[in-house]
A and B are shown apart, each in its own frame.
Chain A
Amino acid sequence: MGDYALLYILFAPFVGAIALIFVSNRQAMLVRGIAAGSAFICLLASVYLFYAYDHVKGGFQFVQKFEWSRQLGISLHLGVDGIGTPLVLASGILLFAGIFVSWHVKDRAKEFYIWLLILAAATIGVFMSLDLFFLYFFYEMSVIPMYLLLGMWGSHTKKYNEMTDPEGLKQRDSVGFIFNFGSNSKEYAAMKLVLFLSAFAVAAFMGILLIYKYSGLNTFDILVLREHANLMNIPVLGTTLDKIIWLLIFFGFASIAPLWPLHSWSPVGHAAAPAATSMLHAGVLMKLGHFSIIRVAFEILPETTRELMPIAAVLCMFSIVYGGFVAYYAKDTKYVIGYSSSSHMGYVFLGMAALDYISLTGAVMYMFAHAMATGMLFAMAGWVYDQTHTRDIPSLGGLSNRMPFISGCFVIGCMASIGVPGTINFIAEVMIIVGSWNKYPFQVIVAVVGIVLTLAYLFKMMRGLFYGPMDQKYSHAHDAVSAVDRLPLLIMITVSIGFFFFPMHLYNVVRSGVDPLIAKITRVVPVAAETTGLRLEARGDNNTPLADRSVPFASAPVSGGRP
C-alpha cells in the first residue's frame, strides 16, 4: 500500500457503499460481509498509516494531490500530520466496531450500512484534507447521512412515546423544530442536528471564502495559504478582517465539537441515534470541530489564534460544568453519555486554549482516548436498549446478573471515561491539566471538578443499570455471548488499555504534529526563517510573553507519556 494508504482508507468505505447498492437485502450475510470487509480494509490501512507515520520527519506525509478544478483553484489534496493520524485511526477502529455493534440490524440493513460507511468515509475525509474546499466538502457530506441514520433507525425517547395527542405530535414534528424544545422525536432530533450543523457550517464556509478572497492566491490549498496568505491588519467594520474570519471559523466549527452555547443539538441527536451512529457521532464526528479549528484557524491565522483563543478558555468551563450537571440529573442512558461527551469535549477546548506543547498534545490524545471510551459506553447502552427496549435508568436495575460480560465491560468503559490510570484517557487528561495549569489555573480547577462530576454520574448510571433489584420483566435479557457481539467491545478496550502501557508512539506522532503549530502560534516567525531549523529557533526564542511559559523542546519528556 505504501504511499497510497490514504486513498485506501478514504475510498474503501465508499467502494463498499457502492458495492452494497447492487446487493439485495435478502442476502443478509453478504450485506454484512461487504460492509465489514470494506471497514476492515479501512482499519488495516489506518493501522498501517499510524505505525508507518514517521514522527521524526513530522509534517504532512502520505500526500496525494489531484487537480480537481482549475477555475476555482481546488485540488484533492490529501495528507496527514501528527494530529490527523490518530484521528484517522480512531475513525477506522470505530467504523469497524460499529459494523459489528449493528450486526443485528434487521430493517433495511443494506441501507443502514451504506449510510454508515458514507458517514465514516466523509469523516475520515475531513481528517486528511489539505484543501479548505475539500475540508468543507467532506464536513458537509458527513452531516446528511446522520439525518437518515437518525430518522430511519433511531428511536424516540420514552417521554415522546407517552405523548398521546396526535395533533400535538404532528405540530412538534413540523414547525416545532424552532419553537418547541420539548419534542424528543427522532425526526425532530435529526432535523435539528442537520439544520444546526449546516447553519454553522455555512458560517465557517463564509470564513473560508473570505480567506480565499483576501489571500488573493486563487487557491484553497491549506499548505499554500498558511505560507503565503497575509490576512493581518485589514480594517473592516471597526475591527480587523482576521478577527472576523477567525470568529466565523471558530464558532462555525465549534458547533459540532460541541462548545457550550452551541451544544443543544448534540445530546438530542445522541439519544435518537442507533448505537453504531452514536459511536461514530460522539467518537469522531464531534472531533471534526476541534480538528477543523486546528487545521484552519491554527494553521492559517496563528497570530489571531493567540489573540482570541481565550474565548475558548472561558466557554470550555461552561461546557464542562453544565454538561456534567445535566448528565448527573439525566434519566436516559444515552442522554447521560451524550452530555458527558459534550462535557468532556470541554477538556479538549481547554487543552487547545492553553496553546502549550503539552496541553495541545494532551488535547489531541484526549480526542483519541475519548473516541474509544465513549464508543464503548454507547455500544453498551445500545446493547442494553436492544435487550430491554428502554433507556430509562430508574426503571432498569440489576442487569449484572443477566449480562455479566456487558456489566464488566461497562465498568471498564466508565473507568476509561473518568480517566482512571490504566487507560489512555488518564495520560491525556493529566497532560491537559499539567499543560494548562500555568496559563489557566482556574479552568484547571473547574476541569478537576468536572472529573469528579464524571465519576458521580457514571457511577450513578452504572448502579442504576446493573445493580440493585431487577424488574422481572427484563429477565429475558441476555448477555453478549457470541464473538460478533463481543469483538467490538474487546477491540475498544484493548486499544484503550494498550495505549496506556505503550503510549510512546502515539505521543511522538501527536507531538510531531503539535510542535510546529505551537511554535508558529507562540512566536512571530518570518516566513523565510520557518523552513530552516525550526526546532532550534523554538528553543532559543523567548521574547514573546507566551513562549517562555511553554515547555521548550529540549526539556519535553521524550521517554514517557506522563510528565
Chain B
Amino acid sequence: MNFSLTMSPSDLLLLLPEILLTVWLCGILIVDFSFPRLPNEQLAYLSVAGLAATLGCLVWFDVTGVAGTLFANMFVLDRMALFFKMFIVGSTILVILASVDYIHRFRFFRGEYYFLIVMSALGMMFMASANDLLSVFVTLEFSTFGFYVLVAYLREDMASNEAGIKFFILGVFAAGLLAYGISLVYGETGKLVFSDMKSAQATPGLAIGFLLIFGALGFKIGAVPFHSWIPDTYHGSPTPVTAYLSIAPKGAAFAILLRMFFVALATFKPIWVLLLVAASVMSMTYGNIVAIAQKNMKRLLAYSGIAQIGNVLIGLAAGTKMGNDAILFYLLTYLFANLGAFAIIIAVSEAIGSEEIDDYSGLGRRSPFLAFSMLIFLLSLAGVPPLAGFIGKIYIFVAAMKEGLYVLITVGLINIVISMYYYLIVVKKMYISEPHDPSPITVSGPIKAVLYVCLAGTLVLGIYPQPFADWVVSATMMFSGLADPAVSLPVPPAATPVGG
C-alpha cells in the first residue's frame, strides 16, 4: 500500500470542514486560556459559531455536489458522508446550546468542556468519511477519546465517576475487539479499503473478523448484546453528554456500518441479514421490556434508545437502497425527538434538581410548554402520527416489508405497543398526577431555542416528509445498485470529482 501526501489545493477543499473545525477548536482553547474571566456562555456561543460555519460549509458541499476521495481511498467524501457530517454537527450545536445552563455544575475545566465536545464532533466527522479499516479504527478511537473524559466530568459525583470507569473499560475492550477483528480481516484478505474486499472469499477467519468489528460497532450504537454499558453510563454522565452520546456516535457508527455491509460485504448479504435480524429482535424486545420498570428519566431514555436502535437495525436488515434511506430518515427523526427529550430533562433538573419520573408529576401545570414538548417528543419516539417518529417507523417497516421480513415487522409492531405503555406512564405523571410542589418552572433561552428547533423538526418531518425523504434518497445514491426499480428516484446533481 502506498500513498503520497502531496496534496493539491483541490484535495484540501475536501477536508475544508474538518480543517475549519480543527482551527476553530484550537481557537476555543486559546481563547479559554487567554481570557480566564470570560463568561462560559461566550465560549459556548463561540463554539456554536464555529460549528455553524462548518455546517454552512457542508451544506455548500451538498448543494454544489463536491465529492471525492483522499489518501488512497482512506477518506471518502460522498453525499452520505455529508449527510452524516451534517447530522453530527447539527446535533453538536443543539447539545452545546442545551449545556449552557448545565455547565455551572462543573467545578473545574468549564472551557475545556466545549473543547472536548467539539473535538468528539471532529472525530465523528472523520468517522463518517472512513472508508477503510485503519481509518475506522483511528477515527473511532479519536471520537471516543473525548467521551471518556466527558462522561466523568462531574468529578464530585460518584455516579459520574462510575459511569466513566464503566464506559472506559468496556470502550477499551470494544477497541480491542475492533483491532483484533481488523487484523483477522487483513490477514485473510490482505486488503484494508472496503471497496477492495468485494471479491473476498468466505473463510472462518474473515467471518470472525467481521463479527468482531460488528461487535465493536454494536457497542457504539448500543445494540443488544453489546448494550450493557448504556444504562449506567447514561444515568451517571452529565445530562448534555448523555444526550450527545445517545445521538451523534450512533449516527457516525451507522455511517461505517452502512459502508461495511453494503460495500465490503455486499456478497454475503444472506448471512449478515440473519445476524442483524437477531440483533434487532433482541434490542427491541429487551429495550422496551426493561424500560417499563425504570424510575429514572435518563434510564428510561437509555433503554428506549436501545429499542430504537433495534428499529434502525430493521432497516439495515432489509439490505436494500430503500432500507438505507429509511435508516437515514429514522436517525433524523430520532435526533430531534431524543435531543428534545434530553433538553427537557436538563431544564427540569435545573429547576427541581431531580431526574426521577415521579418528580415529573404535574409538569403540565408547572410548565405547560415543557410538558407539551415532552409529550410531543415521547409520542414521536413511540411512533404516533402525525409526528416524525411515526413516519420513520413506517418508512422502515415498508422497506422491510418489501424484503419480506415478516417476523421482524411483527416484532417491531408489537414493540410499538409495548413502548407506548412506558411513554404514556410519563405522560400520565406530567398531565394527570397532581404536582408535589406547584411552583412554576421557567425555561432559559438556550434551552428554549433547542426545544423550538426540535419541535419544528419533529412536526415538519412528520407532516411534510417529502423534502427530507428526497434528501436521504439522494444521500444514499451510492447504493443505488440495490435500488428497487419501481421507486422513482430524483436525479442527484452531477458529482464533480476532485482530488483522488
Contact = CB atoms under 8 A, between A and B. Distances in A.
Of the candidates A194, A199, A209, the one having the most CB atoms from chain B within 10 angstroms of its own CB is: A209
A323 interface: no
Interface in B373-393: 379, 384-386, 390-391
A206 B413 contact: yes
Given A71-B487, A194-B424, A202-B416, A152 B398 contact: no
Interface stretch (B25-33, B84-92, B331-339, B402-410): B402-410
Contact of A195 (B322, B420, B432, B469): B420
Contacts of B404: 213
A187 interface: yes
A292 B321 CA distance: 33
A190 B431 CA distance: 13
B424 A68 contact: no
A151 B426 CA distance: 12
A325 to B, nearest CB: 31
A72 interface: yes
A339 interface: no
A401 B392 CA distance: 58
A290 to B, nearest CB: 21
A68 B469 CA distance: 10
Given A137-B386, A144-B384, 5 more contacts: A152-B431, A191-B421, A195-B417, A199-B414, A213-B404
B465 interface: yes
Interface in A158-210: 174, 177, 186-187, 190-191, 194-195, 198-199, 202-203, 205-206, 209-210
B227 interface: no
B495 interface: no
Contact of B424 (A138, A191, A212): A191
A105 B262 CA distance: 58
A19 to B, nearest CB: 15
11 contacts: A72-B398, A108-B364, A133-B394, A140-B390, A144-B379, A147-B424, A147-B427, A152-B364, A195-B421, A209-B397, A213-B401
A202 B395 CA distance: 15
Contacts of A69: 391, 465-466, 469
B488 interface: yes
A330 interface: no
A221 to B, nearest CB: 14
B428 A198 contact: no
A70 interface: yes
Nearest to B322: A71
Contact of B409 (A70, A71, A174, A206): A206
Contacts of A191: 421, 424, 428
A68 B466 contact: yes
Q: Which 10 A-B pairs have the closest CB atoms?
A: A202-B413, A151-B432, A137-B385, A141-B385, A199-B417, A209-B401, A218-B486, A213-B401, A198-B417, A71-B469
B94 interface: no
Instruction: Kindly state the interface size class of chain B when it binds its partner.
Output: 35 or more
A147 B375 CA distance: 12
B384 A206 contact: no
A195 B398 CA distance: 23
A109 interface: no
A139 to B, nearest CB: 9
B225 to A, nearest CB: 26
B100 interface: no
The A contact surface, by secondary structure, is: helix
A148 interface: yes
A148 B322 CA distance: 36
Contacts of A138: 385
Contacts of A108: 364
Interface in A190-243: 190-191, 194-195, 198-199, 202-203, 205-206, 209-210, 212-213, 218
A218 B398 CA distance: 10
B473 interface: yes
B99 to A, nearest CB: 28
Contact of A140 (B385, B395, B466): B385
Contacts of B486: 218
Contact of B325 (A71, A137, A148, A174): A71
Contacts of B410: 206
Contacts of B465: 68-69
Contacts of B391: 69
Contacts of B386: 137, 141
A203 B384 CA distance: 15
A191 B417 CA distance: 11
A203 B413 CA distance: 8
Interface in B140-176: none
Nearest to B386: A141
Nearest to A151: B432
Contacts of B417: 195, 198-199, 202
Contacts of B466: 67-70
Interface in A51-74: 67-72
Nearest to A173: B428
Interface string A308-326: 0000000000000000000
B431 A148 contact: yes
B317 to A, nearest CB: 16
Nearest to B432: A151
Nearest to B326: A71
A133 B397 CA distance: 12
A552 to B, nearest CB: 42
Contacts of A151: 428, 431-432
A204 to B, nearest CB: 10
Given A147-B424, A218-B487, A198 B395 contact: no
Contacts of A209: 397-398, 401, 409
A61 to B, nearest CB: 25
Of the candidates A144, A174, A195, A218, the one having the most CB atoms from chain B within 10 angstroms of its own CB is: A144
B462 to A, nearest CB: 10
Given A141-B386, A151-B432, A205-B413, A70 B488 contact: yes
B344 to A, nearest CB: 18
Interface in A96-150: 108, 111, 133, 137-138, 140-141, 144, 147-148
A550 B223 CA distance: 58
A91 B394 CA distance: 28
Given A72-B395, A144-B379, A212 B431 contact: no
A401 to B, nearest CB: 37
Nearest to A174: B425
Contacts of A137: 385-386, 390
A152 B432 contact: yes
Given A69-B466, A140-B384, A212 B421 contact: no
Of the candidates B322, B398, B487, the one having the most CB atoms from chain A within 10 angstroms of its own CB is: B398
A147 B426 CA distance: 12
Contacts of B420: 194-195, 198
Contacts of B432: 151-152, 186-187, 190
A187 B424 CA distance: 10
A13 to B, nearest CB: 14
Interface string A18-32: 000000000000000
